[in-house]
Structure 1
Amino acid sequence: MYLFNSAPGKNITFVRPTYFVIRGFSGILNIKYYYVFLFFVYIVSVLGNTVVMAVIYLDHNLRTPKYIAVFHLAFVDLFGSSALMPKVLDIFLFNHPSIPYNDCLTFIFFYYSCLSMQSLNLVALSYDRLIAIMFPLHYQVKVTHRFMLSLIASFWVFVITVILISVGLVTRLSFCESVVINSYFCDHGQLYKLACNDYTPSFVISFVLIALILWLPLAFIVLSYVCIGYALSQVVTAHERHKAFKTCISHLSLVAIYFLPILITLTMSSKIHPNARIINLSLTSMFPPMLNPIIYVLQTQEIKGSVKKIFKIGKRTLNST
């Protein structure tokens, strides 16, 4: 098997590698303990998101537009973690650093699709809170099951389209020098920079994606909470303000957990050591899917009540048998 498969182009030889080599976490002492830690985070993420999905599915009282979005966020977290973590462990813990070219592109598609949907799902939850607090009398009309499902479906169509475009642009790149990706996965940004032909289209689509998937959703969420804050300031009693704001705490926690690490990584990536950047990115990828279900179970009264009810039913069933 040859490392490079070549095909003639107009002026250059187009080179498509058979595989890429993932070289993250190099030169870090006792790094295998960190892989074990990531494995633990992944297991907690799988269990937590599975529990949230099961509770929402089993409790008919939770089949509201808001919890459709919560269910979908848990699904995306579970799917995204499962797309990322098993391969990361295979690469580093079991020392299989090479990944076939097509598998790398497939990984980019699924991982970045889930990462993008996490952000857009927070937009859906933000819109839900905005309408519930600013227009409570019209909430049942404006935020319906059909509306939430349509909104999530439209997000998926948008994400799949733009991620397919970014993956398609990668297939136009020629890798005639290095196939070593200095990251812990098939990082789109690190990958296109290895190309020996013009990667400007990939750079542009990457810049556009960051704007559409990160900055625009964050701007909408911030603006929605400015509006929510203004609406709550018009509420007469402090008790009513606190009660209304309490319904936003879980969502605000999810927003902080998702956006803050990414913003820190983007602003500090050029100033920190590559290994620190890679570790920060890995934590940014794995921690939100683990913490999201914990936050919703602990901070949302409806889900806490449903969990207790399900456990009581299960306990009664076991005692009766």
Structure 2
Amino acid sequence: MKMENRSIISEFLLLGLPIEPDQQNLFYALFLAMYLTTVLGNLLIIVLIHQDSHLHTPMYLFLSNLSFSDLCFSSVTIPKLLHNMQSQVPSIPYAGCLTQMYFFLLFADLESFLLVAMAYDRYVAICFPLHYTTIMSPKLCLSLVVLSWVLTTFISLSHTLLMAQLSFCADNVIPHFFCDMSALLKLACSDIQINEMMIFILGGLVIVVPFLLIFSSYARIVSSILKVPSARGIRKAFSTCSSHLSVVSLFYGTIFGLYLCPSANNSTVKETVMAVMYTVVTPMLNPFIYSLRNQDIKGALQRCLGNRIKFFLILNK
């Protein structure tokens, strides 16, 4: 059988964000500041968890992986967005586009699975406090993290390999600021039924199933709290779960708003705004949510700063 090049075009053009030319510099500075905040915030949490022995617990193992995922998730799209905002021709090579799509799916899916692991951790901590250390053993926690990485690698690789089989013959303009899978499928000039079927099947595994598992965990948590209705117990449970619930609401709220509530008018603008929410805003807010509402993180930061101050005082003597 005669072999042929399945992709005739060599690059895609990213239209970017619907920003007026005279506002480009303002939004460039804004997105740069948000990206730097995301990187520094998530790096700070990773370093604190690594250095402070008080944070060597299952919950913070999952949180450190979540922070790493957020950091990488933003780094997949924002640097390219910033580069294209200053470029006259905002293009991306064909191979670079598929690579960006792969890592975008990888870290987005990874966050979904890590949120499930964190919900299970909260469920065990509240419903089975006496057996928490036995159930949430280091072996189980490590297995949950490894399983999350393996599943997300398989899913993102499957989508990318299927996308590489498609032909892109004419239009190469992507009305987005990154290589979104749905936008690429609209440009394909070959049959995309298999791709759509895999999106439906794997999308349920990545979005619907994790959401239902998280919902089930919190339903059992609420049921457990109601069995012993005390103000102190409710406050403790809320304090334990509030940060995770806030992150879950941000993550799934933007995804459901984008994919389950389509709008007929200005759909491209709406999709772009929602994409900015979960690629730029959510990874930036997560460190603040966990640090501002978490006494353990605050304590670790105070101890870290205190040790640094003591170190400098000793050096200056």
Aligned to 1:111: 104
Look up the equivalent residue of 1:176 and give its one-letter code: C
1:156-167 paired onto structure 2 within 5 Å: 156-167=149-160
Deviates more, 1:203-212 or 1:284-293: 203-212
Deviates more, 1:269-278 or 1:251-260: 269-278
Aligned to 2:190: 197
1:51-70 paired onto structure 2 within 5 Å: 51-70=44-63
Contact 1:25 1:183 in 2 (8 A): yes
Rounded Cα–Cα distance in structure 1 between residues aligned with 2:22 and 2:259: 27
Secondary structure of the residue aligned to 2:191 is coil
Alignment counterpart, residue 283 of structure 2, candidates 289, 293, 297:
289
Aligned to 2:295: 301
Aligned to 1:280: 274
Rounded Cα–Cα distance in structure 2 between residues aligned with 1:40 and 1:96: 23
Look up the equivalent residue of 1:306 and give its one-letter code: A
Secondary structure of the residue aligned to 2:260 is helix
Aligned to 1:240: 233
Listed one character per residue, the Cα deviations across residues 85-131 of structure 1 (whole Å, up to 9, x for unaligned) are 11111122333411111111111111110011111111010000011
Contact 1:24 1:275 in 2 (8 A): no
1:1-321 paired onto structure 2 within 5 Å: 14-26=6-18, 28=20, 30-32=22-24, 33-273=26-266, 274-320=268-314, 321=316
Secondary structure of the residue aligned to 1:16 is coil
Contact 1:80 1:111 in 2 (8 A): yes
Shift in Å at residue 44 of structure 1?
A: 0.5
The structure-2 alpha-carbon separation of the partners of 1:95 and 1:209, relative to structure 1 and needing over 3 Å to count, comes to farther
Rounded Cα–Cα distance in structure 2 between residues aligned with 1:28 and 1:8: 45
Look up the equivalent residue of 2:200 and give its one-letter code: F
Shift in Å at residue 182 of structure 1?
A: 1.2
Shift in Å at residue 236 of structure 1?
A: 4.5
Rounded Cα–Cα distance in structure 1 between residues aligned with 2:278 and 2:304: 32
Q: Over the residues paired in the alignment, what is the CA RMSD in angstroms? A: 1.7
The structure-2 alpha-carbon separation of the partners of 1:111 and 1:309, relative to structure 1 and needing over 3 Å to count, comes to same
Rounded Cα–Cα distance in structure 2 between residues aligned with 1:219 and 1:140: 25
- TM-score, normalised relative to structure 1: 0.92
Look up the equivalent residue of 1:25 and give its one-letter code: L
Rounded Cα–Cα distance in structure 2 between residues aligned with 1:280 and 1:30: 23
Contact 2:110 2:148 in 1 (8 A): yes
Contact 1:53 1:71 in 2 (8 A): yes
- TM-score, normalised relative to structure 2: 0.93
Shift in Å at residue 139 of structure 1?
A: 0.9
Rounded Cα–Cα distance in structure 2 between residues aligned with 1:30 and 1:281: 23
Contact 2:9 2:170 in 1 (8 A): no
Percentage of matched positions with identical amino acids: 33
Secondary structure of the residue aligned to 1:109 is helix
Listed one character per residue, the Cα deviations across residues 284-304 of structure 1 (whole Å, up to 9, x for unaligned) are 211111111111111111111
Shift in Å at residue 271 of structure 1?
A: 3.0
Shift in Å at residue 26 of structure 1?
A: 4.3
Look up the equivalent residue of 1:287 and give its one-letter code: V
Look up the equivalent residue of 1:311 and give its one-letter code: L
Rounded Cα–Cα distance in structure 1 between residues aligned with 2:42 and 2:83: 23
Structure 1: where are the runs of 5+ without partners? 1-6
Shift in Å at residue 138 of structure 1?
A: 1.3
